[in-house]
Amino acid sequence: MTSRAAIDVRPITEAEFADWNRAMNIGFLREPSMSEEVIDARRAQFTPGRSVGAFDAGRCVATFRSFAQELTVVGGAAVQADAVTNVTVSPTHRRRGLLTRMMTEELAAAKGRGDVVATLIAAEYPIYGRYGFGPATWATEWTIDVPRTGLDPRWAGPEDGGRVDLVDAEDVRKLGPELHERLRRVRPGVVSRDELWWRTTTGAVRFHATFHEPFYVVYRSAAGEVEGMAAYTTDDRWGDGKQPLNTARVKWLTGVTPAAERALWHYLCSVDWVVRVRSGYRAPDDLLPLLLPDPRAAAVTTHADFLWVRVLDVVRALEARTYEGAGSLVLEVADADGPAGGRYRLEVSEDGTGTCAPTTENADIALDVSDLGALYLGDESAVRLVALGRVREERAGAARTADALLRTSRRPWCPDVF
Ligand SMILES: CC(=O)SCCNC(=O)CCNC(=O)[C@H](O)C(C)(C)COP(=O)(O)OP(=O)(O)OC[C@H]1O[C@@H](n2cnc3c(N)ncnc32)[C@H](O)[C@@H]1OP(=O)(O)O
């Protein structure tokens, strides 16, 4: 048996790609083998140097991949993010520090590249806090009991002069990217989607053996502008007495105006045979329940942390976003072996823009970099973290000041699993 220390952690070559994918499938409890077609499709994601594997006796036993992403922050600017994904360690090699080795090297490389933050969607809550990540957005999924909504069962399209049309995958690839760019400019937490995202989501490129083509709908305003789009699938269930019991599952739904959101949700609740709509992961403060005459018809099915953020560069991160009010705050950031530790003064002017610089002044609050990640997009409350003993107030009332600056009136939302 190879000694533990001999396990080689390094970027993979293209020739090792199939073995690497097999290891990833094993880690994610999926069938290990893949068709040549699926492996070839996945090659589109291969960027030399950014797919890492751990090798024991020549066999891949751990996987890790990162890619360049843009994350929208408060105020609408985008910061360069190091998106971490495809993280697995085979069950035979767990808890020997392989993830720690891969993550430590990755975060140092990301900092070296000049990335402002690292991002990921955590499979399980306890994994990533130790590496300085904090849950920065949360997601809520609702299940709508359609007959209970109180919506008019005779609904025949939007009342606002707009229209909802079924479209094809090709239309989605044509119209979707611009719509997503509009969302990106206004919604903190949204991440960039490249062309491959649109091709995989519409089945033009298939990373898995099975792909169920969804239905696609577009909402256009009375002026003819595309303001919303959704993809959904349905099952085929009938009860006794020929009663339709179908569920529509939303894969994704983008609305850049409240009218678009209203029209798309009402449309989904109007499809004949559909008695239940699962919303997919929405922002916890999504308009959805309140768009229904009876909001209780939308029951929360899932509520959980979603996008985790790891601040790599405090100065650039805090200067990239805007703030809800003017003021100043000195933060003492602890980052044991990471790049973000230090004391920083944030000064926010009347127009909501901030400047940030290292300082030797007394700190107002002291916190771990993972909690800075949780606060960064405006979702978490410093007052709440003080109550939990995670943020220390060095000056009375400083956590309230932090919240007045950092928190936002609408919650951030990351619509994508990556
Ligand atoms: C962004 C993404 O891709 S999310 C997907 C993550 N992958 C998965 O969940 C697939 C199944 N799980 C796995 O592949 C592995 O268990 C991993 C990747 C989560 C962890 O890999 P390992 O190599 O075992 O982690 P490593 O040995 O470096 O552990 C470091 C520390 O984290 C802890 N830890 C690791 N995974 C977990 C977990 N799932 N839950 C709780 N603690 C964990 C370890 O106990 C260890 O703690 P210690 O330093 O106090 O001893």
Per residue in 165-188, pLDDT tens?
999 999 999 999 999 999 999 999
Q: How far is the CA of 305 from the centre of ligand 1 (A)?
A: 17
Report pLDDT for 253. Answer: 98
Report pLDDT for 2. Answer: 53
CB 97 less than 6 A from any atom of ligand 1 = yes
Q: Would you state the CATH architecture of domain 4-115?
A: 3-Layer(aba) Sandwich (3.40)
The amino acid at residue 249 is R
Question: 116 φ, ψ to 5°?
Answer: -85, -40
**Identical fold between 139-305 and 308-406:** no
For the domain 308-406, what is the CATH superfamily, name and number?
A: SCP2 sterol-binding domain (3.30.1050.10)
97 is in an annotated binding site: yes
Question: What are the residue ranges spanned by the domains of the chain?
Answer: 4-115, 139-305, 308-406
Active site residue 128: yes
Report pLDDT for 209. Answer: 87
Counting Cα atoms < 13 Å in the Cβ hemisphere of 118 gives: 30
Residues lower than pLDDT 50 in the chain: none
Q: How far apart are CA 201 and CA 210, in angstroms?
A: 12
DSSP characters over 197-257: HHHHHTTSS-SSS-----EEEEEE-TT--EEEEEEEEE---EETTTEE-EEEEEEEEEESS
CB 87 less than 6 A from any atom of ligand 1 = yes
Q: Which of 17, 64, 128, 344 is catalytic?
A: 128
Q: How far is the CA of 396 from the centre of ligand 1 (A)?
A: 38
The amino acid at residue 404 is A
Phi-psi region of 344 (alpha: psi -120 to 50; beta: other; left: phi over 0): beta
Does ipTM top 0.95?
yes
262 is in an annotated binding site: no
CB 127 less than 6 A from any atom of ligand 1 = yes
Q: Would you state the CATH architecture of domain 139-305?
A: 3-Layer(aba) Sandwich (3.40)
179 is in an annotated binding site: no
Position of tokens 């403060």?
Answer: 285
Q: How far apart are CA 330 and CA 139, in angstroms?
A: 30
Beta bridge mates, 163? 220
Q: How far apart are CA 3 and CA 6, in angstroms?
A: 5
Q: Name the residue with the closest Cα to ligand 1, atom 45.
A: 95
The reported pTM is 0.97
Q: Name the residue with the closest Cα to ligand 1, atom 35.
A: 127
Report pLDDT for 4. Answer: 62
Tell me if 252 sits within 8 A of 261, measured CB to CB. no
CB 88 less than 6 A from any atom of ligand 1 = yes
Active site residue 323: no
314 is in an annotated binding site: no
